[in-house]
Amino acid sequence: MNNILEVKNLTKNYGKSRGVSDVNLEIEKGTIYGFIGPNGAGKSTTIKCIMNLINKNSGEVFIDGKLFLKKNNELKNKIGYLPSEVNLYDGLKVKEMIKYSESFYKKDCSKRISELVNKLDIDVNKKIEELSLGNLKKVGIVLALMHEPEIVIMDEASSGLDPLMQEAFYEILLEEKKKGTTIFFSSHILSEIKRICDKVAIIKEGKIINIDDMNNIEDSDVVRIKITSDYNKDIVKELKLSEDSIKNETLEFIYKDDINNLMKILSKYNIKKLLIEELDIEEIFIHYYK
């Protein structure tokens, strides 16, 4: 496996407040890697530690096999970064902000800048202070991608974008992937993770609780069971379910073990109706959060 980003045993404490604990990630070149969890789960803390924007208590970050430290400008040039909140210089026009950012790179970025500005429909003559949240985010996307980095790290990248612009943004990311760019994509929006990601890590309360290929998560054998029976309470007791699983004489619950074992248990009871439903992608993720 050819990993471009590796996070090893990353821990960040905020005193009494929760940070992240023992986070380990391996992101392969040329993939879109989702990093998902509810707000406050530790996504931004992890990303800020990766970017050396805040100090970690322990752990290491490697870019292209090399230890990534604050002073390593060679590795910094390989990265494009989009924070969850884009803060730029208010007094500048958009085109001045872009030109200033381009000066950090020893290459001509004008062609790529023009492509991105057109695709995102950006008015480069507006001042930064005049931009809406969505337009500010679009400028941030240009700044993250204009130097054609090898890896792009994005934190809640689509927040503030209207639905049409979100689609244009996803298309840009998929085009980047085709070129071999690696994208580490943090989000709490389940549908967009499904839309673009190859692999996903799920973080909950500062800890990674699952890492898997997107296809495996979508093909998960977690199902919803609905049973109509005169023995609902007995089934609840045997399966160690909550009494709340019984609603209007129907027993409903999420089941994640071997379905054949469930059938053996249910065969002892007189079942009037049995329905087995696949979960949609959002329900599968929510199952991990609980």
If one compares 159 and 81, the residue with the highest pLDDT of the two is: 81
Kindly state the tokens that stand for 40. 């406050």
256's CB contacts (< 8 A; 6+ apart) are 220, 221, 222, 223, 287
Task: Assign 3-class secondary structure to 111-144.
Answer: HHHHHHHHHCCCCCCCEHHHCCHHHHHHHHHHHH
Q: What mean pLDDT, rounded, does the chain reach?
A: 90
Residues 76, 210: one domain? yes
Look up residue 266 and give its amino acid: L
User: For residue 121, what are the contacts with CB-CB under 8 A and spacing of at least 6?
Assistant: 138, 165, 168
CB atoms within 10 A of CB 148: 15
pLDDT at 195: 86
What is the number of domains present in the chain? Answer: 2
Statement to judge: residues 100 and 18 lie in one domain: yes
- For 147, other C-beta atoms within 10 Å of its C-beta total 20
Whether 163 and 206 map to the same domain: the answer is yes
- 247 and 110 assigned to the same domain: no
Same domain, 152 and 249: no
Query: How much is the pLDDT for 165?
Result: 92
| 129, 88 contact by CB (below 8 A) | no
- Measure the CA–CA gap between 183 and 81, rounded to whole angstroms: 10
* Token pair belonging to 264: 């053996």
Residue 35's SS3 state is strand
Question: Which of 218, 242, 270 finishes a domain?
Answer: 218
What sign does the dihedral 64-65-70-71 (CA atoms) show? negative
State the pLDDT confidence band at 222, using cuts at 50, 70 and 90.
confident
Q: Is the pLDDT of residue 281 over 70?
A: no
Which has more confidence, 217 or 188? 188
Q: Are residues 151 and 231 in the same domain?
A: no
Of 192, 218, 244, the one marking the end of a domain is 218
User: Which of 218, 250, 269 is at the close of a domain?
Assistant: 218
| Cα dihedral across residues 277, 39, 213, 184: positive or negative | positive
Same domain for 121 and 167, yes or no, is yes
Q: Is the pLDDT confidence value at 227 over 80?
A: yes
Q: Do both 170 and 117 map to the same domain?
A: yes
Q: Give the pLDDT score at 289.
A: 62
pLDDT of 46-80, one tens digit each?
999 999 999 999 999 999 999 999 888 889 999 99
Residue 148 has pLDDT above 90, yes or no: yes
pLDDT value at position 243? Answer: 80
CB atoms within 10 A of CB 132: 11
Q: Which of 97-111, 146-160, 197-211, 235-249 has the lowest mean pLDDT?
A: 235-249
Query: What's the rounded Cα separation, in Å, for the pair 288 and 290?
Result: 6
Q: Do both 18 and 106 map to the same domain?
A: yes
The sign of the torsion formed by the CA atoms of 204, 171, 96, 101 equals: positive
74 and 31 within one domain: yes
Q: Are residues 113 and 181 in the same domain?
A: yes
Q: For the chain, what is the largest distance between any 2 Cα atoms, rounded to a whole number of angstroms? A: 74
Tokens (6 digits) for 207: 């800890």
pTM of structure = 0.80
- How far is 68 from 10, CA to CA, in rounded Å? 13
Pair 150, 242 in one domain: no
Residue 261 domain boundaries: 223-289
